[in-house]
Amino acid sequence: MKKPRDKKSKKKKRRSISLPPQRKLKRRHVWLKVLPEDLWLKVRRGKTIYEALQKTDVELEGDCGGLGKCGKCKVKVLSSLGPPSMEGKELLGEDEIRQGMRLACRTKLKKDLTIQVGESEEEVTYYQILKVGRRPIFYLDPPLDKKLVTLDAEGENRGLADFERIKLALGPEYQDLTAPLHCLRTLPEMLTKTNYRGAAVVHDKTMIAWQPWEQGGRRYGLVFDLGTSTLVGKLISLLDGKEIAAISRLNSQSKFGANVISRLQYAKENRQGLRSLNELIVRDLNLIARRLLEVAGLSPEDIFIGVAAGNTTMQHLLLSLDPSGIAQAPFNPVSTDGMILKAAEVGLVFHPEALLYVMPTRSGYIGGDLISAVIASGAAEQDDLMILGMDLGTNGEIFLGNRRRLLTCSAAAGPALEGAKISHGMIAKDGAIEGVTSGEEDLWYRVISNIKPKGICGSGLVDLVAVLLHCGIVDYEGLLQPVSQNLGDNLMSRVVKRSGAYDFLVASPEESFDGRPIYLTQKDVRELQLAKGAVAAGIKTLMDEMGVRVEDIDRVYLAGALGNYVHPLSAERIGLIPSVRPGVIQSLGNAASTGASMVLLSKGYWQMANELAHSIEHIELSTRIDFNDYFIESLNFPENNIW
C-alpha cells in the first residue's frame, strides 16, 4: 500500500535509470535468418521481409501481392522488435502481436532479424549466436587464385608434357610450378573435357586442379569460428571479399562438458575420448559447410580453401592432437604453429585437394581466436594508438598494445559472464533477458524472441547489476539492500528478504514464462564480482606491465557475444572495463571469424598471424603478485555513478 503523501512537501523528481543509447554506424545490409530452414539471407537495409524472401523457395501465403491488404503473409519474429505497422495492427489479433507475429510485407528490415515461417512440427529454439563482425578495409590478395588458360596446339606438336604446356602458358613466373599427384592423374581427362581451355587453380606455387573455363569465376572460401559453446561458418567470395552467407550451430561437444576443462578431462579419462570429440567437431563443420553451399547453390567441389580459428584446445580437438598437456601446468600444447593442411586429412568434405589454414596460437590459453581478434582490431598495424581488446567468456582473453609491443593474458573469469552459475542464468537463447533498464516506476527488460522471460544471460546480468548499482539497491561492496531514496513503489517492492538475505525479484510468477519467479540473489552478485574482478585485475596487470594509464588508452574493443550485446556503460559501471572517454569503446562483433576471413582474403594477414604468435608477450597471471592484489581490489564495484 502506498503511503499518503504530505501535501505540503514538494514532489521530488524521480531519476531515470535507463541506459543511454549506444551510437552505432548503420550498415547497408542486414542478416535475415529464416527458421525452421536455417536459411541466412543478406538483405539491403530497408527492404521488407516479403521482398527478401521473393527469390527464395520459402513459401509465404498471400493474395494481395505484398500490398498489406490480405493479412496472410504472417511470420513470427523471434528477435526483439518494435510495434507492428498500422496494417499489422488492423489485420493481426492482439494475441498474435504479443506472440511476435508480423506481416512480412509490412515489416522492414532495419537490423538483423530471426523469423519463423510456417508451423514447425517441434518447438524451434532460437539461440542468439554472434556471427557478424567489424572488418577494416584492406587490400585483397587471397592465397588461392584461378588463372584462365588456353593451350595452343603447337606445344602438343612439339611433344611437350601437358603440365609443361600449362606452365608455359602461365608465363615465366610459373616455371617452378608443381602439382599434386591427384591433379596430375586427372589432368589428361580434364584437358580433353575442356578442350584445352580452362582455369588453373593455383595456391602458392602449386596447381591443385584444372577446371572448366566457366568455373573460373567461382572463387569462394569458408571460415570457421570454433567456439567452445557455438560454431560459426561463413561463405566468402574471394573476388570481392563479401560474405555470401553465415550459419551457426551449437557445438555438439557440449554433451561432454560446457567448457574446455571438462572436455580435456573427458579426453584424458576415456580411451576413445579424443576420437569422439574430434568426430563431433568434424561432423558439425561438415553440416555447416553443406548448408552454406546449399544456400549459395554450390557444391563441395567448388571449395578449395578454408580457415579455422578457435581456442588452443578446440584447434587441437579439430586436428586430433593430444590436448592433455594443456590441462595441467605448465599448460603446454602439442604445437602453436599455424598449419596449412589438406582439408581431407581433417575429414572435411570439400574438393580433394582443398586446403585448410589453421590459425597459429600463442600458448595453451591464448589461441587462434585471440590472434584473429588482434588482426581484426588493427592493433598490430597501429604505431601510436594504444589498443585494449578483450574477448569475454569463461576465460577473459585480453590484449593491450600496438605494433611496437603487444601483451596478452587470460583471466579465469568463470562462467558467470555467460549466464552459468547464476541461480536463474542461461545462455543467450529464446526467453533470456539480454538487457535491462529501469524507468521512474519499475524495471524494464529486453527478452530474446519477445516472449516472457525464462532466465537471464550474461549481458542481461551486467545490465541488471549496473542499474541496481545506479539506484542504490546494490552498494559498492555488492550488498543487495532496500533503499529509502525516491524510487517507484513497484521497483522497491522487488527487493525481497529470503533466507536471511535480500534478493531482487526480476520477474514475478505472472511475468515469467513458466509461472515461477526469477530472482537475482546475493550469491549471483558475488559470482559476478568474482568474474569482473578477474577481468579487471587482468587489465590492470597488463597496463602496469605496459606502463600506461587509463587516459592513455585510445581504443577499447569488445569481442565475442558478451562484448557485442552488453552495453558499454553497464560494463564500465560495474568495473568490468576501465571508465574511459566517450566514444573509445567499440564492438568488434565476432572477431575470431573476422580475423580468420582477413587471413582467407590476404596472404599478408596469414604472415602477420604467424609473426604475432611469436612476437606477442604473454603474461601468466598466476605468477603475478600484483594480479592477486588487483583482484582483491577489483571485487568491489566503483563507488561513483557515471550516468
454-503 pLDDT, tens digit each: 999 989 999 999 999 988 899 999 999 887 666 667 778 889 998 788 99
Which residue has cell 590459453?
A: 365
Per-residue pLDDT for 40 more than 80?
Answer: no
CB-CB contact of 442 with 491 (8 Å)? yes
**What string of DSSP letters covers 44-64?**
ETT-BHHHHHTTSS-----SS
State the Cα–Cα distance between residues 304 and 207, nearest whole angstrom: 11
CB proximity list for 607: less than 8 A, separation 6 or greater: none
pLDDT tier at 134, thresholds 50, 70, 90: low
Query: Whose CA is closest to 584, among 549, 545, 558, 548?
Result: 558
Q: How far is CA 33 from CA 39, 127, 565, in A?
A: 6, 11, 18
CA 230 to chain centre: 9
Residue type, 581: R
DSSP 3-state of 401: strand
Q: Can you tell me whether residue 42 is helix, strand or coil?
A: strand
Q: What percent of the chain has pLDDT over 70?
A: 89
**Considering the domain 220-358 in this protein, what is its CATH number?**
3.30.420.480
Nearest one of 293, 380, 385, 305 to 341, comparing CA atoms: 305
What was the pLDDT predicted at 241?
Answer: 93
Any idea how long the chain is?
643
pLDDT(559) > 70: yes
Over residues 380-387, mean pLDDT: 94
Report the alpha-carbon distance of residue 304 to residue 298 in Å, rounded.
Answer: 12
CATH superfamily of this structure's domain 29-116: Beta-grasp domain (3.10.20.30)
Reduced to 3 states (helix: H, G, I; strand: E, B; else coil), residue 609 is: helix
pLDDT at 186: 94
For the segment 534-547, the average pLDDT, to the nearest whole number, is: 96
Q: Mean pLDDT throughout 114-132?
A: 60
Q: Are both 29-116 and 144-217 of the same fold?
A: yes
Nearest to 323 by CA among 266, 394, 402: 266
Most confident of 64-68, 134-138, 177-181: 177-181
Kindly write down the DSSP assignment for every residue of 425-485, as one continuous string. B--SBTTEEEEEEE-SSSEEEEETTSS---EE-HHHHHHHHHHHHHHTSB-TT--B----S
Residue 2 to residues 8, 160, 488, 492, 505: CA-CA distances in angstroms?
17, 98, 10, 11, 19
Confidence of residue 413 (pLDDT cuts 50, 70, 90): confident
Do strands 455-456 and 432-438 pair parallel, antiparallel, or not at all (unpaired)?
A: parallel
Report which of 417, 364, 448 is spatially closest to residue 81, judged by C-alpha positions.
Answer: 448
Higher pLDDT, 62 or 33: 33
Task: Tell me the average pLDDT across 430-444.
Answer: 81
- Residue 440 has a pLDDT of 61
CA angle 24, 27, 28 (to 5 degrees): 155
Mean pLDDT of 153-161: 72
Q: Which residue has the higher pLDDT, 521 or 254?
A: 521
Question: How much is the CA Rg of the chain, to the nearest whole Å?
Answer: 27
What pLDDT is stored for residue 254 in this prediction? 82
How high is the pLDDT of residue 156? 64
- Burial (Cβ within 10 Å: 0-12, 13-18, ≥19) of residue 152: exposed
Q: Which amino acid makes up residue 296?
A: A
pLDDT score, position 26: 59
User: For residues 634 and 577, is the Cβ–Cβ distance under 8 A?
Assistant: no
Q: What is the mean pLDDT of residues 274-295?
A: 94
At residue 643, the pLDDT reads 61
Three-state secondary-structure class, residue 563:
helix
Give the tens place of pLDDT for each residue, 181-236. Answer: 999 999 999 999 999 999 999 999 999 999 999 999 999 999 999 988 889 999 99
Predicted local distance difference test score (pLDDT) of residue 32: 87
The residue-averaged pLDDT of 243-272 equals: 86
Domain ranges for the chain = 29-116, 144-217, 220-358, 424-520
Rounded average pLDDT over 246-275: 87
Mean pLDDT of 331-344: 94
Output the pLDDT for position 486.
65
The residue with greater pLDDT, 259 or 493, is 493
Looking at residue 583, its pLDDT comes to 86
pTM of the model: 0.78
Q: How far apart are CA 558 and CA 22, in angstroms?
A: 14
Which CATH number describes the domain made up of 144-217?
3.10.20.880
Which of 247, 217, 205, 214 lies closest to 230 in space, CA to CA? 247
CB 535, CB 576: distance < 8 Å: yes
The predicted pLDDT at position 136 comes to: 67
What is the spatial distance between Cα 131 and Cα 101, in angstroms, rounded to a whole number? 25
- Per-residue b/e over 476-506, b at no fewer than 16 CB within 10 Å? eebebeeeeeebbeebbebbeeeeeebbbbb
Q: Judge whether residue 126 has pLDDT over 90.
A: no
Give the pLDDT of residue 412: 81
Q: What is the mean pLDDT of residues 98-124?
A: 79
Tell me how far apart the alpha carbons of residues 136 and 144 are, in angstroms, rounded to a whole number: 21
Q: What angle do CA 30, 36, 38 make, to 5 degrees?
A: 45
- Indicate the helix (H) or strand (E) that contains 245: strand 243-250
8 A C-beta contact, residue 624 and residue 618: no
Taking 60 as the threshold, does the pLDDT of residue 16 lie above it?
no
Q: Is the pLDDT of residue 15 over 70?
A: no
**Count of alpha carbons within 13 angstroms of residue 169, beta-carbon side:** 22
* Four-point Cα dihedral 298, 304, 309, 312, nearest 10: 130
As a whole number, the mean pLDDT across the chain is 86
Q: Among the listed ranges 42-46, 72-76, 271-275, 415-419, which one has the minimum average pLDDT value?
A: 415-419
Helix 181-193 crosses helix 162-170 at what angle (to 10 degrees)? 80
pLDDT at 443: 80
The burial of 434, by beta-carbon neighbours within 10 Å (0-12 exposed, 13-18 middle, 19 or more buried), is given as buried
**How much is the average pLDDT of 353-380?**
94
Is the pLDDT score of 400 beyond 90?
Answer: yes
Is the pLDDT at 551 greater than 80, yes or no? yes
Rounded Cα gap, residues 432 and 475, in angstroms:
25
Q: Given the DSSP bridges, would you call strands 501-507 and 518-520 parallel, antiparallel or unpaired?
A: antiparallel
Q: What is the pLDDT of residue 132?
A: 54
